[in-house]
Structure 1
Amino acid sequence: MADAQDKTLPASERKRRKAREQGQVARSPDFGHFLAIAIGGWLLVKWAPDIGQWMQQILMQGLRFDHALLQNPRLMGERAATLAAQMLMVVVPVGVVMALVGVASACLSGGWNFSTQALAPKFEKFNPLTGIAKLFGKDQLIGALKSTLLAAVLGTVGTLYLQSRIEEFSATLTMPLPAAIQHAMSASLTGLIQVVITLALFAAIDVPYQRWKLSESLKMSHQDVKDEYKEVEGNQEIKQKMKVKMREMARKRMLAAVPNADLVVMNPTHYAVALQYDEKKMGAPRVVALGADLLALRIRDIAREAKVPVLQAPPLARALYQHGELDKEIPGALFSAVAQVLAYVYQLRAAMAGEAPQPGELPELPVPPELDPHNPAAQARQPRGKR
Structure 2
Amino acid sequence: MADQDAQDRNLPASPKKIARSRAEGQLPRSRDLPHFALMVSGGAVLTAAGPRIVEKLRQTLASALQFDASLLARPGFMGERLADMTIAFALVAGPIAVLLMLVGIASNLASGGWNWTTKPLQPKFTHLNPLPGLKRLFSGQGLGAALKAVLLALVLGVVGGLVLKDRLATYVGIMSVPLPSALAYAGQQLMGGLALLAIALALFAAVDVPLQRQLWLRRMRMTREEVKQELKEVEGNMEVKARMRARMREMARRRMLAAVPQADLVVMNPTHYAVALKYDEGRMAAPKVVAKGADLLALRIRDLAKDAKVPVLQQPVLARALYAHAELDREIPAALFGAVAQVLAYVYQLRAAMRSRDVAPPDLPHPHVPPELDPHNQPGWAPDED
Q: Given the two structures, how large is their TM-score scaled by the length of structure 2? A: 0.91
Given that 1:48 and 1:182 are in contact with CA atoms closer than 8 Å, whether structure 2 keeps it comes out as no
Query: What is the CA-CA distance between 1:357 and the residue it aligns to?
Result: 4.2
Give percent identity, aligned residues only: 54
Aligned letter for 2:30? S
Match of 1:384 in 2: 381
> Following the alignment from structure 2 to structure 1, what is the Cα–Cα distance between the partners of residues 307 and 217?
68
Distance 1:127 1:168, change over 3 A: same
Q: Which runs of 5+ in 1 are unaligned?
A: none
Distance 1:188 1:286, change over 3 A: same
Aligned letter for 2:217? S
**2:342 alignment partner, one of 340, 343, 362:** 340
Match status 1:58 vs 2:60: yes
Given that 1:265 and 1:312 are in contact with CA atoms closer than 8 Å, whether structure 2 keeps it comes out as yes
> Following the alignment from structure 1 to structure 2, what is the Cα–Cα distance between the partners of residues 183 and 370?
96
> Following the alignment from structure 1 to structure 2, what is the Cα–Cα distance between the partners of residues 354 and 266?
27
Distance 1:71 1:169, change over 3 A: farther
- 1:112 is paired with a residue whose SS is coil
- Please list, as runs of the form range in 1=range in 2, the aligned pairs for 1:82-231 lying within 5 A after superposition: 82-231=84-233
Distance 1:348 1:218, change over 3 A: same
**2:364 alignment partner, one of 362, 365, 382:** 362
Match of 1:280 in 2: 282
- 1:273 is paired with a residue whose SS is strand
Match of 2:297 in 1: 295
- 1:353 is paired with a residue whose SS is helix
Match status 1:252 vs 2:254: yes
Query: What is the CA-CA distance between 1:177 and the residue it aligns to?
Result: 3.4
**1:317 alignment partner, one of 310, 316, 319:** 319
- How many residues are paired up? 382
> Following the alignment from structure 2 to structure 1, what is the Cα–Cα distance between the partners of residues 380 and 147?
71
Q: Which runs of 5+ in 2 are unaligned?
A: none
Distance 1:59 1:183, change over 3 A: farther
CA displacement, residues 44-93 of structure 1 (integer Å, 9 cap, x when unaligned): 01011101201211321333333234444510110010000000011111
Given that 1:322 and 1:384 are in contact with CA atoms closer than 8 Å, whether structure 2 keeps it comes out as no
Aligned letter for 2:203? L
Given that 1:287 and 1:324 are in contact with CA atoms closer than 8 Å, whether structure 2 keeps it comes out as yes
Aligned letter for 2:24? Q
Distance 1:68 1:152, change over 3 A: farther
> Following the alignment from structure 2 to structure 1, what is the Cα–Cα distance between the partners of residues 176 and 58?
16
Match of 1:44 in 2: 46
Aligned letter for 2:212? Q
Given that 2:57 and 2:89 are in contact with CA atoms closer than 8 Å, whether structure 1 keeps it comes out as no
> Following the alignment from structure 1 to structure 2, what is the Cα–Cα distance between the partners of residues 213 and 69?
64
Given that 2:266 and 2:311 are in contact with CA atoms closer than 8 Å, whether structure 1 keeps it comes out as yes
Query: What is the CA-CA distance between 1:296 and the residue it aligns to?
Result: 1.5
> Following the alignment from structure 2 to structure 1, what is the Cα–Cα distance between the partners of residues 227 and 32?
34
Distance 1:80 1:258, change over 3 A: same
> Following the alignment from structure 1 to structure 2, what is the Cα–Cα distance between the partners of residues 359 and 294?
31
Given that 2:375 and 2:381 are in contact with CA atoms closer than 8 Å, whether structure 1 keeps it comes out as no
CA displacement, residues 239-298 of structure 1 (integer Å, 9 cap, x when unaligned): 222221121121112112212211112233332110011223322211110112221122
CA displacement, residues 100-138 of structure 1 (integer Å, 9 cap, x when unaligned): 001110111222222344444434223333234333333
> Following the alignment from structure 2 to structure 1, what is the Cα–Cα distance between the partners of residues 195 and 171?
17
Given that 1:322 and 1:373 are in contact with CA atoms closer than 8 Å, whether structure 2 keeps it comes out as yes
**1:28 alignment partner, one of 30, 35, 38:** 30
- Please list, as runs of the form range in 1=range in 2, the aligned pairs for 1:69-80 lying within 5 A after superposition: 69-80=71-82
Aligned letter for 1:262? D
- Computed over aligned residues only, the root mean square deviation of the Cα atoms, in angstroms, reads 2.3
Given that 1:30 and 1:206 are in contact with CA atoms closer than 8 Å, whether structure 2 keeps it comes out as yes
- 2:227 is paired with a residue whose SS is helix
> Following the alignment from structure 1 to structure 2, what is the Cα–Cα distance between the partners of residues 66 and 46?
37
Comparing 190-199 with 59-68, greater Cα deviation is found at: 59-68
Given that 1:53 and 1:178 are in contact with CA atoms closer than 8 Å, whether structure 2 keeps it comes out as no
> Following the alignment from structure 2 to structure 1, what is the Cα–Cα distance between the partners of residues 70 and 170?
41
Aligned letter for 1:189? M
> Following the alignment from structure 1 to structure 2, what is the Cα–Cα distance between the partners of residues 138 and 131?
13
> Following the alignment from structure 1 to structure 2, what is the Cα–Cα distance between the partners of residues 205 and 73?
60
> Following the alignment from structure 1 to structure 2, what is the Cα–Cα distance between the partners of residues 242 and 43?
67
> Following the alignment from structure 1 to structure 2, what is the Cα–Cα distance between the partners of residues 156 and 269?
93
Query: What is the CA-CA distance between 1:211 and the residue it aligns to?
Result: 1.3
